[in-house]
Amino acid sequence: METKTQKRSFFQIVPPLRLFVFAFAAVMFVVMVCVTAVRAANGELTESMVVMVGNCLLWLVPFVCVPLFHKWVSDGVYAVAEVFCFFASFLGTIMRFYPNVWWYDLAMHTLFGYIGGIIGLFIACKMTDIKKLSPAFLIVFCFAVSLTFAALWEVFEFSSDRLLGNDAQGIHIPDGNGGYFIDVTDTMEDIICNLIGAVVFSVHCIACALSKKSLGIGALIADFNRGKAQKDESVHAETETQAQEAAEGAACEGEAKVLPARAAKDEKEA
């Protein structure tokens, strides 16, 4: 009986969302290389070369991580990360939206607080069966993860200011004795905005739990569990294969012991 092989379309081989991830990352990498080269040639680098090169390398991350973790991290996670990096890193840092648009930094930190809650949800989905967790515990966990990332980001900004001479945490104000101090207003505003974003995500989760509807959170959970389900299925299939091989081996070994005994019995009776 002949079976007809169906031709698979391009989008069946490469999912559209993964194509977007690769295409967007490739375009942004080329743009960053061109911006860095032009500004360096004209002597118009507004940021240090380390920052520019780091932003170039940032867009190569999907080409490394997607093939390695495609069974564990869905394409939607990379797409959200890329969009956030475009607004926060490219527009904010490279195109100087942070110093030129007064509310842009506050908006990005608020958005980062919300995304921090999504990261907490992602971690919970990968570490355990989220259906076994109470909604209250899950909300508190995501809220704590969001604030943890906010604190780590402020540590990163402080370290970059000290090591690279940046002013991410505020303008250096001379103290009159040859030193300087930094006003903590910018840092506190960033933390407060991250807190607001985390609260918004928590309210979103509470509304989802009370209404018994997805409201987008259910779609995120399904997306985060998809890779885990595939991994669990492969592990389960491998375990079943090993158990079957062990059973067949035991059966063969038992048969090998029975045959000589049966042959000896037949010979004795003969």
Query: Residue 139 pLDDT more than 80?
Result: yes
- Name the CA dihedral angle for 78, 81, 85, 86, rounded to a multiple of 10 degrees: 70
CA distances from 31 to 27, 35, 79, 103, 239 (A): 6, 6, 18, 25, 47
Q: What is the pLDDT confidence band of residue 10, given thresholds at 50, 70 and 90? A: low
Crossing angle of helices 104-127 and 217-269, rounded to 10°: 20
The per-residue pLDDT for 32 is 94
> How high is the mean pLDDT of the chain?
80
Q: What is the mean pLDDT of residues 223-241?
A: 60
Phi-psi region of 170 (alpha: psi -120 to 50; beta: other; left: phi over 0): left
Q: 270 or 26: whose pLDDT is higher?
A: 26
- pLDDT band for position 68 (50/70/90)? confident
